[in-house]
Structure 1
Amino acid sequence: MRGKRIQSLLKPFRIPICLMILFSCIFVGTTLYTPILIGKGVDHIFGPGQVDFPGLSKIVILYLVTIGVAALSQWFIGLLTNHITYNITKNLRNDAFAHMEKLPMEYLDQHQPGEIISRIVTDVEQFGDGLLMGFTQLFTGILTIVGTLLFMLLLNPKITLLVVMITPVSFLFAGLVARKTYFLFKDQSKSRGELTAFTEEMIGNQHVVKAFSREEKNETIFNQINEKLRKVSVSGTFFSSVVNPGTRFVNGLVFTGVCIYGAFVVMRGGISVGELVSFMNYANQYTKPFNEISGVVTEFQNALACIGRVFDFLDEDVVKPDGSEAKILTNIEGEIEFEKVAFSYVKEKEFIKDLDFLAEPGERIALVGPTGCGKTTLINLLMRFYEIDEGKIYIDQQDTKEIKRGALRESFGMVLQDTWLKSGTIAENIGYGKEGATEEEIINAAKLARAHSFIQKMPRKYDTLISMNEENLSQGQKQLLSIARVFLAKPPMLILDEATSSIDTLTEIRVQRALEELMKGRTSIVVAHRLSTIENADKILVMNKGNIVETGRHNELLRKDGFYAKLYNSQFVVE
């Protein structure tokens, strides 16, 4: 199965592969012809006063031409193999990244980013290295072995038989070691992924690590994973390195046997001295590929282990694509309805069941409740980041499962508590909200979000580069840029997940006014932790343990003196 998939990767490169095979045949043919020329040259100078200079000159010229053709063909082999290998790895990375974009949120939530990065980058690179070695050494090595045997058979079948009888030992030895190294390299690849994942996680959260003084503990964990990687790497390297000396020992026996037995044949007049020299060259050429192939075989084990992890990643189930009859939302009014919705992260553990609510066009809906009550889950279901188990979700009375995901998500503007900015300029980050946005539109959006003033103080204003870790911006400034993105997009519906949580009080008042303007005429779902921020909501949905336990306006819910009242009052109780 895996072999067929590797063949499918090679299929688009049939022409370069055929050319590579052609030049490999030329290279091997010319390389195997040189011992014949050397043997004839020896026969032309053997014995005192018996040097045939005219004949020797012709042989020298022919020899130079032959090695020139061999060198040129080897150069073409290098060009073609590099072209094939690096394009295959490029295509494989493109496929892996494209596949990652189609994976459900469930998979991405359950796997560390570093482990996924390791599969897309490191494992593909390791496979490419093994593929490159296979093309450059394995194929030419096999051709050399077959061609050398044919030439030796033409010279002397008996000596060739001696060579053939000894060489199976090399294959047997290499095969036993290769079987062991495959599993070691598979463990090595897995441990490398764990180390990458842990390192990526710690680098991205150094502030938290230092705040809780976890440096020594994390260093201990890193050392444990690193030691695990070291052990399996050393074991894999040890077993793979045993192959080459072992095959060299066998090859030395082959060459010694040829020299000794060949010398007796020469003394009996069976072959000439020049033919013995040719045979010795062939014996050396015959054994050399075994050393190269043994190295390739162990590298192949590493490559196969890595490509196995990549294929496993590519085999992960993707989000079911939109049907051919999926609709695009037009003239959106903004009615949102949940009808008997059920959902569980773990099928055996019920979470949301029979959830119902209706948001009229233009209404401001607030979601409140303790941590883990299902507020974020509800948004994930509305955006189809997760698929519901039962029930229906409607936008303007259209089932969201019948709407194209892209169209559904474009109809919402999201400002989350956790901001996300990409490496690039401030203008590019704001412009992320609308493809092809003009400079004037970007500046207007920044002004509405109250971000224009601090941007003007930046070194290059809107052309200021944001670093990879956004170190040159405060948390509040990052939040303002995220809000500016939504202002630029002007979506018909909004989702605000504690959008002003990272902003100082004075700026919050200004941004709240801007958000008030943005929410006018738009259906808005506001996730609130500070209940004072949603007192003016048209409808408050109070959630607990995945269910809506209370619904109403702020004053109504306070008068009920129920769950909401307890949550609200708890924020003002001084102990």
Structure 2
Amino acid sequence: MGPGRFMGAQPGEKSMDFKVSGKRLLGRLRPERPLILGVLALATVSVTLQVIGPKVLGHATDLIFGGYIGKLIGKHPQAVSGGHAPSHQQQELLSTIHFTPGVGIDFGAVGTVLLWAALIYAFAGLCGVIQARLANVAVQRAANRLRGDVEDKLSRLPLSYYDKQPRGEVLSRVTNDIDNIATTLQQTMSQIIASLLTVVGVLAMMFYISWLLALIALVSIPASAVIAAKVGKRAQPQFVQQWKSTGKLNAHIEEMYTGHSLVKVFGRQEEAAAQFHEENEKLYASSFRAQFISGLIQPCMMFIGNLNYVAVAVVGGLRVASGALSIGDVQAFIQYSRQFSQPLTQVAAMANLVQSGVASAERVFELLDAPEQTPEPEQPERPEIVQGKVAFEHVAFRYDPEKPLIEDLSLVADPGHTVAIVGPTGAGKTTLVNLLMRFYEVTGGRITLDGVDIAAMNREELRSHIGMVLQDTWLFGGSIAENIAYGSEGATRDQVVAAAKAAHVDRFVRTLPEGYDTVIDDEGTGVSAGEKQLITIARAFLAEPSILVLDEATSSVDTRTEVLIQRAMAKLRAGRTAFVIAHRLSTIRDADTILVMENGAIVEQGDHTSLLLQDGAYARLYKAQFAQAVAEVD
């Protein structure tokens, strides 16, 4: 697949509804209700104690100031009024101060108050630690379930979904986006809960101390809400584009890494690098805009908070001078004012995290909502005895509803027979195999296995009887023996070696330092392309299926090895049905039936000799190739 193909949504596409996606994301936490309730309870206790703290400290301030005034008046009674009778304003100010003339600061009482304050803040901190721990457990469990749901979804998606999506894009949704969701929830959930509770608790204490100052503080809420809404609305599309660009960049990197040899062979390094820089610049631009726009919220909120702080300080000073409030109450109120604006600022600072997380959630939900393959039948059928008779009965199929590919195709493959399918590229050869494996569903007619419609069978049951070797080899990180035994649980080493010998794997494995225990990676580093294909053929032999499907299975081996494999397969195919798709016609001369396909239809059918005598499409294909390959071996 070339770079840039199937890149999905384009820039400028509208994102999903932020509120709907946000609610759906929070709904993923529903199974963790007990933990969430614990988080709420601990957050309530922690915030309540933190809200009480300034009031307690304000009492300590009143004790210190009252002791100072009492000592001052005891020594110099005229100090307060300048030798005259106290004015009305001075009397109001003194009325807010609790003091005893001649008695100084009661350090014992102040120490007791401070000790209580320390205990309050310590217990509040302990509750906060436990709360964060519970929130982390809840988030990680939710992320774990989300990954499991995505994995289950991937197994239920039809092959057509993967045909239209680059692997890097799918991987980005499964890894990067889910990790971003988990990070967002972990960093914001407990903080947002604490911030909201703090706002409520602090507001209650502010009204308790002074309703006038509380109203002044409340003026900042509408302004903050308007700023957050305006800026957030502009930032959200940029976060959506940021994660789309991340998926595109990952898709490009995955394609270039997988095909790095071809990129070098054809001298496309500069083009690949240019494509990378283009996608990287798009990601940079969208990320910069998202973070910059969203980052404007916090300084705006801090500016409003500072204005609010100044207003509270000025009005509070006037209220103290008028005797309406004590100095301790004003000190506590100023602390509450800071506590009131701080959670709003924190929520604003987390706006970019929340928007980024919801943007990732939209991409994951889009994957979870993708149309699935047809569900399994409630009461699946299965052949009583699987002999391997396959019949295509008036089968029709089309990838695009407007473009028919196969129309009214019928054929029968008897048990033990080898059916070869040949024809030009795009004739529908591989499509027949995909229909047999139920990677795609027929749009007309039916396919039966020993008289049972495969649409009435479980896919797992159907595929358990079919062994498949594709032109594109697939290996995983592990030993050669483990790769051969993949799909044959419980296979012994002797069985693995026997299958390897039949597929001519044993001859080159013996030359490796660790033999069958040689570890290879998923790219098959250390073995050639032909050797990788032999390993996949040995894997199919070991499974001993009732039906063998070989789609250009020997295209990467030399002609001599190919003929030797064909002869070995002839023994292994005894009593089994085999479908062989081949371009090199010299390898399927011994097939019982050869189907020649053109434009989704069977134009010729017969064995090698009869088809040559017809001097039709098969004869033209055969003459166009070099038939001497078999003669060299014979």
From 496, 519, 529, the equivalent of 1:442 is 496
Separation in structure 1 between the aligned mates of residue 448 and residue 140 of structure 2, nearest angstrom: 47
1:62-461 equivalences in 2 (<5 Å): 62-461=116-515
Separation in structure 1 between the aligned mates of residue 460 and residue 123 of structure 2, nearest angstrom: 57
Whether the 8 Å contact between 2:466 and 2:547 is mirrored in structure 1 is yes
Separation in structure 1 between the aligned mates of residue 50 and residue 511 of structure 2, nearest angstrom: 70
**By how many angstroms is 1:15 displaced?**
0.5
Instruction: Find out whether 1:19 has 2:41 as its counterpart.
Output: no
* 1:2 corresponds to: 21
Larger mean CA deviation between 565-574 and 473-482 belongs to 565-574
**By how many angstroms is 1:259 displaced?**
0.8
One-letter amino acid matched to 2:28: L
Whether the 8 Å contact between 1:337 and 1:393 is mirrored in structure 2 is yes
Separation in structure 2 between the aligned mates of residue 502 and residue 437 of structure 1, nearest angstrom: 27
Whether the 8 Å contact between 2:416 and 2:576 is mirrored in structure 1 is yes
* 1:56 corresponds to: 110
Question: In 2 relative to 1, CA 319–573 (structure 1 residues): closer, same or farther, beyond 3 Å?
Answer: closer
Larger mean CA deviation between 125-134 and 227-236 belongs to 125-134
One-letter amino acid matched to 2:109: G
Deviations 1:212-255 (A, max 9, x none): 11111111111111111111111111111110000000000011
1:21-36 equivalences in 2 (<5 Å): 21-36=40-55
**By how many angstroms is 1:573 displaced?**
9.4
* 2:550 corresponds to: 496
Whether the 8 Å contact between 1:400 and 1:408 is mirrored in structure 2 is yes
Whether the 8 Å contact between 1:369 and 1:543 is mirrored in structure 2 is yes
SS in 2 for 1:167: helix
Deviations 1:168-201 (A, max 9, x none): 2111111111111111111111111111111111
Question: In 2 relative to 1, CA 144–195 (structure 1 residues): closer, same or farther, beyond 3 Å?
Answer: same
One-letter amino acid matched to 1:73: C
Separation in structure 2 between the aligned mates of residue 497 and residue 107 of structure 1, nearest angstrom: 21
Question: In 2 relative to 1, CA 76–239 (structure 1 residues): closer, same or farther, beyond 3 Å?
Answer: same
One-letter amino acid matched to 2:313: C
* 2:57 corresponds to: 38
**By how many angstroms is 1:421 displaced?**
0.7
Whether the 8 Å contact between 1:329 and 1:403 is mirrored in structure 2 is no
Deviations 1:121-140 (A, max 9, x none): 11112222222233122111
* 2:539 corresponds to: 485
Whether the 8 Å contact between 2:505 and 2:538 is mirrored in structure 1 is yes
TM-score with structure 2 setting the length: 0.88
Whether the 8 Å contact between 1:338 and 1:356 is mirrored in structure 2 is yes
Whether the 8 Å contact between 1:119 and 1:310 is mirrored in structure 2 is yes
Instruction: Find out whether 1:523 has 2:577 as its counterpart.
Output: yes
SS in 1 for 2:275: helix
Deviations 1:517-568 (A, max 9, x none): 1112211111111101111111110011111110111111111111111100
Question: In 2 relative to 1, CA 521–316 (structure 1 residues): closer, same or farther, beyond 3 Å?
Answer: same
Whether the 8 Å contact between 2:382 and 2:452 is mirrored in structure 1 is no
SS in 2 for 1:312: helix
Deviations 1:81-123 (A, max 9, x none): 1111111111111111110111000111111111111111111
Whether the 8 Å contact between 1:167 and 1:254 is mirrored in structure 2 is no
Whether the 8 Å contact between 1:498 and 1:527 is mirrored in structure 2 is yes
Separation in structure 2 between the aligned mates of residue 433 and residue 20 of structure 1, nearest angstrom: 46
SS in 1 for 2:296: helix
Separation in structure 1 between the aligned mates of residue 117 and residue 511 of structure 2, nearest angstrom: 74
**By how many angstroms is 1:330 displaced?**
4.1
One-letter amino acid matched to 1:180: R
One-letter amino acid matched to 1:253: L
From 516, 520, 524, the equivalent of 1:470 is 524
From 544, 561, 568, the equivalent of 2:598 is 544
**By how many angstroms is 1:33 displaced?**
1.2
**By how many angstroms is 1:375 displaced?**
0.5
One-letter amino acid matched to 1:247: M
Deviations 1:335-369 (A, max 9, x none): 11111111111110111101111112211111011
One-letter amino acid matched to 1:406: E
Number of matched pairs? 574
One-letter amino acid matched to 2:574: K
Say which one has the larger Rg.
Answer: 2
Deviations 1:304-331 (A, max 9, x none): 1111111111011111221122123442
Separation in structure 1 between the aligned mates of residue 219 and residue 429 of structure 2, nearest angstrom: 74
SS in 1 for 2:619: helix
TM-score with structure 1 setting the length: 0.97
Separation in structure 2 between the aligned mates of residue 506 and residue 260 of structure 1, nearest angstrom: 96
Identity %: 39
SS in 1 for 2:526: coil
Whether the 8 Å contact between 2:383 and 2:451 is mirrored in structure 1 is no
Whether the 8 Å contact between 1:167 and 1:250 is mirrored in structure 2 is no
**By how many angstroms is 1:3 displaced?**
4.8
One-letter amino acid matched to 2:35: P
Whether the 8 Å contact between 1:137 and 1:296 is mirrored in structure 2 is no
RMSD of the alignment, in Å? 1.5
Deviations 1:10-32 (A, max 9, x none): 11101100000011011101111
One-letter amino acid matched to 1:496: L
Deviations 1:365-386 (A, max 9, x none): 1101111111000110111110
Separation in structure 2 between the aligned mates of residue 14 and residue 167 of structure 1, nearest angstrom: 30
The runs of 5 or more residues in structure 1 that have no matched partner are none
Larger mean CA deviation between 152-161 and 2-11 belongs to 2-11
Larger mean CA deviation between 377-386 and 324-333 belongs to 324-333
Deviations 1:468-496 (A, max 9, x none): 32111111111111111112111111111
One-letter amino acid matched to 1:386: Y
Separation in structure 1 between the aligned mates of residue 238 and residue 257 of structure 2, nearest angstrom: 28
Whether the 8 Å contact between 2:486 and 2:539 is mirrored in structure 1 is yes
**By how many angstroms is 1:167 displaced?**
2.9
One-letter amino acid matched to 2:139: T
Separation in structure 1 between the aligned mates of residue 522 and residue 416 of structure 2, nearest angstrom: 38
Separation in structure 1 between the aligned mates of residue 485 and residue 544 of structure 2, nearest angstrom: 12
Whether the 8 Å contact between 1:167 and 1:251 is mirrored in structure 2 is no
